[in-house]
Structure 1
Amino acid sequence: MLPTSEKTSFRSNRIAVSIVTLAAITGWGVGGYSFLRSSELEKQFAGHTAALQNYQAQFLTQRKAIEDKERDITQLHEQLSASKAESDSQSTKLKEMEEELTKSREQLAAVQPLLQPHVVGSAPALMRITPLPAKQDVLAAQEALTKLRFGDLEADGVIGSSTREAIEKFQRTVGLPVTGELHPQTLTALMRSAKVMAAQGEQPQEPL
């Protein structure tokens, strides 16, 4: 058996070795834990960095899309303004054309009666004018009225009461306004009737 002093020394040495060994193990564990913790932190930092970069890329993409849309909206506003200006210009031109067309129609309506042919019995404006027929026209009318048996007139070229009465009978017969005046329409109708009678080669038994 070992002496008591040696036993005590051996125990002390064992305790010391155990403490050193424990300390060494503890230090390695702490160092290993620190190394593992640092690696984990680096991984987490790298992950956060990648996520931030991804967010930044998405933000830039979205901002570019918004800027493109704003640019498109601006262009659409400009096109709309240009179209509105063109539409206003076209509306103004259309209004001017409609006004010109209305004026042209009014002018045409005012001139149209003057352009229509004067039909016998449909020229009231001329009926209101007192005619001044030439003497040869009065002679021709008196001869036609005598041939057509509207009166036994003396062809003297003067419109007297007998001639006026014969003219009124003729006008009443053919549907002309009864005026007793030798209007151009009356003279034309007389000459036409006389030619028709001459072509037939016979005298009417009664006034037409």
Structure 2
Amino acid sequence: MNRTPERRGSSISRLTISGIAIAAVTGWGAYSYSSLSSMQLEQQVSGQTAALREYQSQFLSERMKAENGAQEAAKLREQLASAQSEIERLTAKHTETEANLAAAKEQLASLQEINAPPALDGAPALRGVAPLPTKQDVMSAQKALTDLGFGKLEADGVVGPTTRQAIEEYQRLVGLTVTGQLHAQTLQSLMRSAKVVAAQNERTE
């Protein structure tokens, strides 16, 4: 059986339409698949971006902590250096204070020795002391008063106004009764004081 030309044209048209339909369906499916892949890719990129931002935030936080720790360590080192310097200063001050205290104790011992009640049977040079001092006693007292810094007295053996004033100043200083008279206790105290001062001067020299 032979087909007419009209029937042939109709078959060709149907085939053409079928091909176009298949191509259209295939293209839409490819477009749908492409759109789905793009959405997944965008989601992945968005997730990675969020993770990267979180990591960056953690990194900045850790770096800030590290910087703060370094600053705190620097402050602690500075405080430690200051404390060590203060300890050295206090140690030096303590040493100086101990030296001054030792010197003060020595001076106090000397003053106690000077102001101690003299023995009646003291040094041989004092055995001749009488209620009324001799000229030699007065001369020794004048020399002792000069050595102790109570003026430059002339050792002439005479108790004049200058000598009497020096005796009063000495008596007032050491706590004796102020009379201006060269009685035995004043003379003995003068001799002892002069010896102590002379001994100190020898040690100093």
Please report how far the alpha carbon of residue 37 of structure 1 lies from its aligned counterpart in structure 2 after TM superposition. 0.8
> Is residue 95 of structure 2 the alignment partner of residue 99 of structure 1?
no
- Aligned residue for 2:63, secondary structure, equals helix
Say if 1:19 and 1:101 are closer, same or farther in 2 by CA, change over 3 A.
same
Tell me which residue corresponds to 1:19. 19
Please report how far the alpha carbon of residue 112 of structure 1 lies from its aligned counterpart in structure 2 after TM superposition. 2.6
Distance of 1:135 and 1:29 partners within structure 2 = 147
Tell me which residue corresponds to 1:67. 67
Structure 2 gaps of 5+ residues are 134-183, 186-205
Tell me which residue corresponds to 2:3. 5
> Is residue 44 of structure 2 the alignment partner of residue 44 of structure 1?
yes
Letter in 1 for 2:3: S
Distance of 1:19 and 1:42 partners within structure 2 = 34
Tell me which residue corresponds to 1:78. 78
Say if 1:4 and 1:41 are closer, same or farther in 2 by CA, change over 3 A.
farther
Tell me which residue corresponds to 1:155. none
TM-score norm. by structure 1 comes to 0.52
Distance of 1:80 and 1:65 partners within structure 2 = 22
* RMSD of Structure 2 on Structure 1 (CA): 3.2
How many residue pairs get aligned? The number is 133
Distance of 1:4 and 1:10 partners within structure 2 = 15
Q: Can you list the C-alpha shifts for 1:178-208, whole angstroms capped at 9, x where unaligned?
A: xxxxxx79xxxxxxxxxxxxxxxxxxxxxxx
TM-score norm. by structure 2 comes to 0.53
Letter in 2 for 1:37: S
- Aligned residue for 2:52, secondary structure, equals helix
Tell me which residue corresponds to 2:90. 90
Bigger Rg, structure 1 or 2 = 1
- Aligned residue for 1:5, secondary structure, equals coil
Structure 1 gaps of 5+ residues are 138-183, 186-208
Tell me which residue corresponds to 1:117. 117
Distance of 1:103 and 1:135 partners within structure 2 = 38
Please report how far the alpha carbon of residue 14 of structure 1 lies from its aligned counterpart in structure 2 after TM superposition. 5.0
Aligned-pair identity in percent equals 33
Please report how far the alpha carbon of residue 15 of structure 1 lies from its aligned counterpart in structure 2 after TM superposition. 4.6
